[in-house]
Amino acid sequence: PAYDLATLRARLDGLRMEDNPALIRQKSRDFYWYSPVLKRQLAEVTADLVVSVASEADIVRVLAACVELRIPVTPRGAGTGNYGQAMPLAGGVVLDLSGMDEVLEIAPGRVRAEPGAVLAEIDAQTRSRSGQELRLHPSTYRSASIGGFIAGGSGGVGSITWGGLRDLGNIISLTLLTMEAEPRRLRLTGDDLARVAHAYGTNGVIVEVEMPLAPACDWLEVIIGFESFAAAAAYGNALGEQDAILKKLVSVIAAPVPQAAFLRHRSFLPDGRHVALVMVDALAREAFEAFTRRFAGAEILFRSDRLAPEEAKGLPPLYELSWNHTTLRALRVDPAITYLQTLYPFPDQLALVSRIHEALGDEVAAHLEFVRFDGKVTCFGLPLVRFTTEERLAEIVALHEAMGAVVFDPHRYTLEEGGMKQTDPDQLAFKREADPHGLLNPHKMIAWEDPAFDFSGARTYLFPGIGA
Ligand code: FAD
């Protein structure tokens, strides 16, 4: 559709606008190319204009003008999302929030920040000013924004102790602006947070977040090696259950992925060894060692407190080998790799993992991320798939589901297909209220555009204008 950009520009006079097509294209992209399916489907997606804002008043101006002119708006933090979440499928405006990056208030137990604040920067301030840190963060900690994490992410480093963003208590409040002729400012708490958290910015622009903090720890990084994957997984699960050893990360990755993909850590990783990547409180050092000694065959291969200075040089933080950074590193050495996102439900998670990987063999390498959900330790999977065809990928997804794993399909750009494959009535109802013209990040919420869509069928939802 052709939008009245000339009038929009006039309305937004004084704001920073980018209309160089190459730069617009760049800001219309995220890490969608991880998926060979999305890479094909979304290759041509681009906005018409990028508008950068520095204050809430700026955002109000952009939203009001775009409602008046019926121009879509897609919010963007750092653009590190994985499924085209921040890609403007209907063109229009990309709203760049990276300039709204102030940490507004640090208090005992909580921090208030603007949405564009980068997670690592928030922690740097809460650590130095109050000895506290965020409970959880994605492995893109050093680049991602807090607003993008809440609107697009789910959990990550810290989830072994604190669960995910969806868990009540992991967000204190969100303040957002609605997409109306006169944008309203709403503050959400409690159950209402689920309307907007992980809604891809389809029903409001988050302008302020209030997050709980934990006491900051000195995190010891350790890699433990095992002869068998099952032993590594059992160790990870058992460490997850050690409530009195504070943990930030428990990842388990099957050989030969670590040896092939963790290039900077390569000298610490003997061939054939399956590994657990662990971040534990340095104060629990001896407790952790004692715990690890209980596992015959567990061998500590790497620890951050025993490195010579020249060994430490150039090593990325351990969390940048975990979560979707594992995928990124594997992809870099072998572009034919792609991945899935799965949840192996408690209490049979380890048996399920072993059955699925037995069935799939070398085509799919296991990668587990242990988490605590509702007081129970279980694991997510980010298994690495040797990609052949889209049909085979769909078969691998179906096999996971048939065997009892939940798949959050990273090869779909819609909220529903990437999530629980059903309408989220709260998010839909809130969109009716907060974005009555359907202008925020269009074509991402199927329930809004095609209420009759059959999620049980084999058909993928395709936005108008897409070929196949
Ligand atoms: P963006 O990509 O800019 O935006 C994400 C979504 O949020 C988009 O739909 C966008 O429209 C919307 N949005 C952004 N800001 C706002 C706002 N202020 N108001 C409303 N909507 C908004 N994710 C995890 O959860 N855990 C992980 O461990 C993890 N690891 C990753 C590792 C790699 C290597 C990569 C590439 C991605 C990973 N991700 C992970 C996904 C992503 O990095 C995170 O979710 C990140 O927090 C997104 O932040 P961002 O600022 O880049 O968001």
Q: How far apart, in whole angstroms, are the C-alpha atoms of residue 449 and residue 409?
A: 20
Residue 92 lies in a domain: no
Residues 182 and 331 both lie in one domain: no
- Write out the residue range of the structural domain in which residue 176 sits: 103-215
The bridge status of strand 342-344 relative to strand 406-407 is antiparallel
Residues 284 and 361 both lie in one domain: yes
DSSP states along 78-113: S---SSSTT--TT-SEEEE-TT---EEEEETTEEEE
Residue 48 lies in a domain: no
pLDDT at 466 over 70: no
Average pLDDT over residues 419-448: 96
**pLDDT for 464:** 75
Amino acid at site 226: F
Alpha carbon separation from 405 to 66, 355, 383, 396 (Å, rounded) = 42, 11, 12, 11
pLDDT at 87 over 90: yes
- Residue whose token pair is 């492995």: 139
Residues 350 and 283 both lie in one domain: yes
Residue 295 lies in a domain: yes
Residue 277 lies in a domain: yes
Q: Report how far ligand 1's centroid is from the alpha carbon of 398 (Å).
A: 26
**pLDDT for 29:** 98
**pLDDT for 1:** 62
151 lines ligand 1 (CB under 6 A): yes
- Residue whose token pair is 């947070």: 193
Q: How far apart, in whole angstroms, are the C-alpha atoms of residue 211 and residue 172?
A: 5
Closest C-alpha residue for ligand 1 atom 46:
149
Q: Report how far ligand 1's centroid is from the alpha carbon of 295 (Å).
A: 37
User: What number of CA atoms fall less than 13 Å from residue 22's CA on the CB side?
Assistant: 0
Q: Report how far ligand 1's centroid is from the alpha carbon of 78 (Å).
A: 7
Residues 256 and 376 both lie in one domain: yes
Q: How far apart, in whole angstroms, are the C-alpha atoms of residue 289 and residue 412?
A: 42
pLDDT at 111 over 80: yes
User: How many structural domains compose the chain?
Assistant: 2
**pLDDT for 465:** 67
Q: Which of 159, 187, 215 is the last residue of a domain?
A: 215
- Cβ atoms 313, 365 nearer than 8 A: no
147 lines ligand 1 (CB under 6 A): yes
Average pLDDT over residues 148-155: 97
149 lines ligand 1 (CB under 6 A): yes
Q: How do residues 346-398 score in pLDDT, each as one tens digit?
A: 999 999 999 999 999 999 999 999 999 999 999 999 999 999 999 999 999 99
Closest C-alpha residue for ligand 1 atom 15:
148
Residues 227 and 328 both lie in one domain: yes
Residues 253 and 350 both lie in one domain: yes
66 lines ligand 1 (CB under 6 A): no
CATH of the domain at 140: 3.30.465.10
Closest C-alpha residue for ligand 1 atom 6:
152
Residues 268 and 159 both lie in one domain: no
Residues 172 and 147 both lie in one domain: yes
Residue 209 lies in a domain: yes
Average pLDDT over residues 21-45: 96
Residues 124 and 183 both lie in one domain: yes
145 lines ligand 1 (CB under 6 A): yes
Q: Which helix (H) or strand (E) holds 349?
A: helix 349-360
Q: How far apart, in whole angstroms, are the C-alpha atoms of residue 448 and residue 156?
A: 29
- Cβ atoms 340, 382 nearer than 8 A: yes
Decide if the complex's ipTM is over 0.90.
yes
Confidence class for position 468, pLDDT limits 50, 70, 90: very low
Q: How do residues 290-348 score in pLDDT, each as one tens digit?
A: 999 999 999 999 999 999 999 999 999 999 999 999 999 999 999 999 999 999 999 99
Q: Which helix (H) or strand (E) holds 326?
A: helix 323-333
Average pLDDT over residues 260-283: 98
Residues 185 and 107 both lie in one domain: yes
Average pLDDT over residues 224-245: 98
Q: What is the mean pLDDT of the chain?
A: 96
**pLDDT for 462:** 84
Residues of the chain with pLDDT > 90, as a percent, come to 95
Residue 34 lies in a domain: no
- Cβ atoms 75, 97 nearer than 8 A: yes
**pLDDT for 463:** 82
Q: Which helix (H) or strand (E) holds 370?
A: strand 367-373
Q: Which of 166, 184, 215 is the last residue of a domain?
A: 215
Q: Which of 376, 404, 432 is the last residue of a domain?
A: 404
CATH of the domain at 332: 3.40.462.40
User: What number of CA atoms fall less than 13 Å from residue 327's CA on the CB side?
Assistant: 25
Residue 86 lies in a domain: no
116 lines ligand 1 (CB under 6 A): no
Tokens of 222: 């350790």
Q: How far apart, in whole angstroms, are the C-alpha atoms of residue 193 and residue 198?
A: 10
251 lines ligand 1 (CB under 6 A): no
Residue 447 lies in a domain: no
42 lines ligand 1 (CB under 6 A): no
Q: How do residues 172-203 score in pLDDT, each as one tens digit?
A: 999 999 999 999 999 999 999 999 999 999 99
Tokens of 193: 């947070």
Residues 374 and 242 both lie in one domain: yes
Residues 223 and 211 both lie in one domain: no
Alpha carbon separation from 376 to 12, 99, 241, 350 (Å, rounded) = 50, 39, 8, 13
Amino acid at site 256: P
**pLDDT for 144:** 98
